[in-house]
Structure 1
């Protein structure tokens, strides 16, 4: 199980912006690093490597950046040696049965923050930016999936007002895991 992190004592002053195609390698690196740290212990190594190669390659991230139904946001920080310290996506083309009756739903997808920036407002800021864009576009329900064993993320989303409304399976190779579906009115 990944070690818990403590908030950085340094002021992080994150900046949020829309991702650009040239950000794809940095997003891919951060995504694969965070995914491996968070979920890697819970699945066979071959399934993990295959998933990372298909979901977190620079070309896969570039496809997301060019997809008109997905908006990718990034966080940067002047104190980081890395170009991107967090990212998230607003996905307009996904759905879940448990949110079908919710007014104008849209998915908050892939909220990933470098572990050295946990507790510094990066994740909360990215969620705020996703909410702002969703509201501007007329969406009224923000939903997401969070791994059933990721208690830290569940607590974070709960503090932001998300409530459980369902569950779905998430298959990576031979490995099947379960995500809780959470939603909130925006």
Structure 2
């Protein structure tokens, strides 16, 4: 397998980001959710307007994992007021690590995760946190393997469905 490159996403990449965002979210969650809820979330959550606003937000960063110039996964991190919860100035939130299904098990998620930790250290953060769907055991195991521990739960709305995310945290010191 060729080397995977991690590259910061810019507004010029918005269509590619929208495409991989929708595809990876659908691959990950379609089987456990209604078609109507998925359709609504994909339209709202990955609209060009929403992605454009996120891409110009100084407290949000996106990165592609690329193989042969093709995006095969991506990372979204937030700090400061752009975090979905917490808003702690000493914390970095990993909001998304998604990898195309055909590349699962090939360390792409780990490479993106390592980038998030590198960013946390560059920004002198004290801890990293994230929310993971309670019905996604693969992701929960991944984060536990990387030292995360559950500390709370919160509700994530997918269309008209209230779902529970386990909030997990990793202290960096």
Q: TM-score over 0.5 for the alignment? A: yes
Aligned to 1:89: 76
Alpha carbons 2:27, 2:101 under 8 Å: kept = no
How far has the Cα of 1:42 moved from its partner?
2.4
SS of residue in 2 equivalent to 1:84: strand
How far has the Cα of 1:60 moved from its partner?
2.4
How far has the Cα of 1:12 moved from its partner?
4.3
Tell me which stretches of 4 or more aligned residues in structure 1 moved more than 4 Å. Answer: none
How far has the Cα of 1:108 moved from its partner?
0.6
The match for 1:141 among 124, 127, 131 is 127
Structure with the higher fraction of residues in strand conformation: 2
Separation (CA, whole Å) in 2 of partners of 1:105 and 1:131: 11
Separation (CA, whole Å) in 2 of partners of 1:124 and 1:144: 15
Aligned to 2:15: 25
2:42 corresponds to 1:56 = no
Aligned to 1:112: 98
Aligned to 2:160: 174
TM-score scaled by length of structure 1: 0.84
Alpha carbons 1:74, 1:86 under 8 Å: kept = yes
The match for 1:35 among 1, 4, 25 is 25
TM-score scaled by length of structure 2: 0.90
Aligned to 1:129: 115
SS of residue in 1 equivalent to 2:71: coil
Separation (CA, whole Å) in 2 of partners of 1:175 and 1:94: 22
Q: Identify unmatched segments of 5+ residues in structure 1.
A: 1-10
How far has the Cα of 1:95 moved from its partner?
5.4
Alpha carbons 1:73, 1:88 under 8 Å: kept = yes
RMSD of aligned alpha carbons: 1.9
SS of residue in 2 equivalent to 1:166: strand
Separation (CA, whole Å) in 1 of partners of 2:13 and 2:98: 15
Instruction: Report which structure shows greater RCO (CA 8 Å, sep ≥6).
Output: 1
SS of residue in 2 equivalent to 1:130: helix
Matched pairs, number: 170
